[in-house]
Amino acid sequence: MSQHPRIFLSSPHMSGKEQQYIHDAFETNWIAPLGPNVDSFEQELAAYTGVRDAAAVSSGTAAIHLALRLLDVRAGDTVFCSSLTFIASANPILYQGAEPVFIDSEPETWNMSPYALERALSEAEVMPKAVIVVNLYGQSAKMDEIVAICDRYGVPVVEDAAESLGAEYKGKKSGSFGKFAVFSFNGNKIITTSGGGMLVSNDEEALRKARFLATQARDPAQHYQHSELGHNYRMSNILAGVGLAQLEVLDERVAARRAVFDRYVEAFGHVDGIDFMPEIDGTLHNRWLTTLTLDREKVGFTPLELIDRLAEENIEARPVWKPLHLQPLFEGAKYYAHTDNRSVSNELFENGICLPSGSNMTIEQQDRVIHFINGMLKE
């Protein structure tokens, strides 16, 4: 193992202002869930995204679960979901006893294929209760096409924007397209609260219900009374203070991630056999992670071989997400490929890699990554 300091894939990047918000929470004794920081974080995140309301919760997964609760997803229902994503996008489908149907990606965005979605909806005997569309690694899906298809079939969209905060699609912020959208503030995301998430929507009444469900669904009575199942999903006032400070520097973080991406492109963009994740016209990719595909025949190694070699140099890299239709948990689930003879998500999983992309990664650290990969390309 190399003696060089570790280079992480995407480590937390504090602004320095978080301590002030945390201090204020302690000074006012707003320690438990809820409080002024939570209220402000919700309001400022909603304003940034361009939606009417937001509810701060304990994780992005919790936000998806609440969205499905609000859409009355029940046992026996189906929910369509992007296949190329982290498992948290689909686990809440199982929480509700529903059945996932997975939709392939398409090559221009690596996100949900409108062609596969149209085919899945046209063949559905009963319409799904929702379509969960993931904006992978910070690139928006083709939301105009996907929303139009879902509107035609009368199916609501849940926009999983966990990885795409700060990204844009045709002049609108990511997270402003679905009936509901979700963000994640996990430790490795573009901004973090250490753990946490946000459910956003233009339906303010629905988000009032979300807050009710997220606080154990306690009825408005003097005693503890509960008429329906609730969850302990609200964000603490301390963590919301971290989020407020992080939100102040979000656009700087996006610019820094994009600069990291640009340096990788400058280093490897000319190499035959290396192709970076696209940024389609009319979008702003937040480049949360720099992702690319490798052609083994042309570069001489696979993503897993590169990941292992980088690990020996104390550099963290990761494979692209393993598609959910290939996960043992979802064995037997329906899957609609991009075309009859092409599964794009399978190709991306086999050939894709995520390189270190943190907004706090120094140029010297990135040069170390680039220098090592260049060495492998010359072997």
Q: Which residues are catalytic?
A: 189
Q: What is d(CA 352, CA 292) in angstroms, rounded to the nearest whole number? A: 6
Can you tell me which residue has the tokens 């701060």? 56
Q: Where are the alpha helices (DSSP H) in the chain?
A: 18-27, 36-49, 60-70, 91-95, 114-123, 143-153, 204-214, 237-248, 250-268, 296-299, 303-312, 344-351, 363-378
Helix, strand, coil percentages, rounded to 5, for the chain: 40, 20, 40
For residues 228 and 252, what is the distance between their CA atoms, to the nearest angstrom?
43
Do residues 21 and 28 touch, judged by C-beta distance below 8 A?
Answer: no
- Cβ–Cβ under 8 Å, residues 348 and 108: no
- Interhelix angle 18-27/36-49, rounded to 10 degrees, is 140
Alpha carbons 115 and 294: distance in angstroms, whole number: 25
* Order of strands across the sheet that contains 157-160: 53-57, 197-201, 180-184, 157-160, 130-134, 78-82, 99-103, 334-336
The DSSP 8-state label assigned to residue 320 in this structure reads P
| Residue 28 CB neighbours (<10 A) | 12
